[in-house]
Amino acid sequence: MLRTITTHQLLKSTSTLSVASITRIVVPGVRTLTTKSDPNQAAHSNVTENMPRDVYREVLDSRPIPMREEFMLNQKLTTEALEKIDFGPGKHHVPKTMGDKMAYYGVKCLRTIPDTYFGRDHYMRAVMLETIAAVPGMVGGMLRHMKSLRNLSDDNGWISHLLHEAENERFHLMTFMKCLQPSTFNRLLILGAQGVFYNAYFFLYLFSPKNAHRMCGYLEEEAVVSYTHFLDDLDSGAIKNDPAPKIAIDYYNLQPSATIRDVVLAVRADEAVHRDANHFFSDRIADNKENILEEVMAKHKEDVNNQLQKNRNAMA
């Protein structure tokens, strides 16, 4: 949030300048901006000179936003605060329909592959997991975007969350990539697994969004379990609790002294959100109540009115 505010202030103060006329501006948390007057940045000058102003602004403003509101508070989170986040330990959606059971047992079957291959190599398991986990949100968001275009109607509040989910999972991947260097074979394994999963999930979502979200919900249940095992091995000393990558400290608003354990706590909390959201979406599709935006706006209006009434009563 601080970076976004600072960026807007920078743009406002330089609104009368062209992109190329900015000599050198240093903003905390934002990459240094330079012009062709800097010989070390000559290759970049042509890009910024020809870049539309709005693209320039958007690139400056681009910053991944965490899923949970706890990570967007003003104070930096301590280990104790992270441990108090309710991630719903043991939370599980009991399969009811045949589609639910197929999704559940399908995910359980898929889990045996990383369990067998990666074992307790939690870093590599996390990298593989996140390359897969970032697929459903993007596929769902894309297909719902296309459906909105075809039907000439609003998406009813789904697309933005699904794309945010995909970005959040991708950021998990960027975090853990700071902790290891996958072998060539593992990179090929990731490439193949993502290719197979993307196409399989695409067709599943195309024909049955309800079962696709249910499957994703079960995948996230397993992700919560995997990160809990990660924490167990960190606590037992089986894995060294190294300092957290700076990218994760900035993203989750952690203390400068944060460790990998803090990061895993934060990531597990994110996965719990994805778990609950996808089971919720599957239930809404099953109940034929997909217009969540209308209900959310009505509830928000009610909450605002209730708060105003409380304020009036307090002043009376």
Binding residues for Fe cation: 130, 169, 172, 220, 271, 274
3-class DSSP state of 76: coil
> At 24, which helix (H) or strand (E)?
strand 24-27
What torsion, rounded to 10 degrees, do the Cα atoms 115, 125, 274, 89 define? 60
In angstroms, the Cα distances linking 178 to 10, 122, 181, 249 are 30, 14, 8, 12
In angstroms, the CA 156 to CA 4 distance is 27
Tell me the binding residues.
130, 169, 172, 220, 271, 274
3-class DSSP state of 254: strand
Residue 91 tokens read as 């939370």
3-state secondary structure labels for all residues of 39-58: HHHHHHHHHHHHCCHHHHHH
Q: Can you state the angle between helices 98-118 and 122-151, rounded to 10 degrees?
A: 150
Q: ∠ at Cα 256 (255, 260), nearest 5°?
A: 80
In angstroms, the CA 105 to CA 87 distance is 23
Residue 149: how many CA atoms within 13 Å on its side-chain side? 6
